Amino acid sequence: MLELRRAQAGYGRIQALREVSLEVGAGEIVTLIGANGAGKSTTLMTICGVVPAQAGEILFEGESLRGLSPDAIVARGIVQVPEGRRIFPQMSVLENLELGAYLRRDSAGIRRDLEHVMELFPILAERRHQPGGTLSGGEQQMLAISRALMARPKLLLLDEPSLGLAPLVIRQIFAIIRRINAEGTTVFLVEQNANQALRLAHRGYVLENGRVVLADTTEKLLGNEEVKSAYLGI
């Protein structure tokens, strides 16, 4: 579904991605793990067209995404939940959700999806008229994921959804990600919390200094000695 071939990207003269090749198949949950500054977020921003790729190829359903604007990429069905959730703070929960469906014109479908996400996260229904900025971190993460779902993504990109959340909330969020995937959305998950991510995903990649250094099924990665010592703290 998504394929990066030796993608390179960076900011000015700083090259954040030196060589990233990876693949996400339809229906999968794939995770990308790595340390702070390894280039995980840049990988997602490059896929979304926010950071332009300098070299290599980015293919989605066989077509190149390079040079497309971020809104054109959203229109193709790739939607990101960025690091730090980035809720529109002064807009209500409902408005945040409506903005998720910004490019859609089917108001009946939008209404159905609103109901669907409020069923996934009942707290959002309760707080629908509250400004997004007043929600707790966990609630904001639920809102951020729901906002992305409102776009009906084919591929959902998640950047550190566990960041700064209590363990109980993390478990809840990960259970929902599993459910979203089961309902047919492909998921590409970037995490520092390697342990959780590898337990959730089918396959994983390890990113170090802007390069993919390991690629395997999550079972094998969980058993890999290097991964254990570097990312799992065992």
Partner 1 sequence: MSYFLELVGSGLTRGSIYALIALGYTMVYGIIQLINFAHGEIYMLGAFIALIVAGALTIHGFSGWAILLLAGLVAAVYAAAYGYTLERIAYRPLRNAPRLSPLISAIGMSLFLQNYVMLAQTPDFLPFPALIPEFAFMEPVAHIIGSAEVLILATSAVLMIALTVLIKYSRIGKAMRATQQDMAMARLVGIDVDRVISFTFVVGSVLAAIGGVLVGSYLGQINFTIGFMAGIKAFTAAVLGGIGNIPGAVLGGLVLGLTEALAAGYVSSAYEDVFAFGVLVLILILRPSGLLGRAVREKV
Contact residues: partner 1, CB under 8 A: 48, 50, 69-71, 74-75, 79-80, 82, 86, 88-91, 95, 98-100, 102-103, 147, 151
Residue 69: alpha-carbon gap to chain centroid: 18
User: How do 14-24 and 2-11 pair as beta strands?
Assistant: antiparallel
Q: Which residue has the tokens 């996260």?
A: 121
Give the nearer residue to partner 1 in terms of CB position, either 100 or 138.
Answer: 100
| Cβ 144 to partner 1 shortest distance, Å | 9
Give the nearer residue to partner 1 in terms of CB position, either 37 or 89.
Answer: 89
Q: Please count the other Cβ atoms lying within 10 Å of the Cβ belonging to residue 164.
A: 13
Structure-block tokens of residue 133: 């900025």
Angle between helices 93-100 and 137-149 (to 10 degrees): 30
| Cβ 183 to partner 1 shortest distance, Å | 21
Tell me the C-alpha distance between 185 and 7, whole Å. Answer: 24
| Cβ 33 to partner 1 shortest distance, Å | 22
| Cβ 190 to partner 1 shortest distance, Å | 14
| Cβ 104 to partner 1 shortest distance, Å | 9
Give the nearer residue to partner 1 in terms of CB position, either 71 or 226.
Answer: 71
Report CA-CA distances (Å) from 201 to 14, 125, 195, 217, 220: 31, 29, 10, 9, 12
Q: What is the 3-state secondary structure (H, E, C) of 35-98?
A: CCCCCHHHHHHHHCCCCCEEEEEEEECCEECCCCCHHHHHHHCEEEECCCCCCCCCCEHHHHHH
| Cβ 98 to partner 1 shortest distance, Å | 7
Query: What secondary structure letter does DSSP report for 196?
Result: H
Give the nearer residue to partner 1 in terms of CB position, either 96 or 218.
Answer: 96
Give the nearer residue to partner 1 in terms of CB position, either 54 or 217.
Answer: 54
Give the nearer residue to partner 1 in terms of CB position, either 84 or 230.
Answer: 84
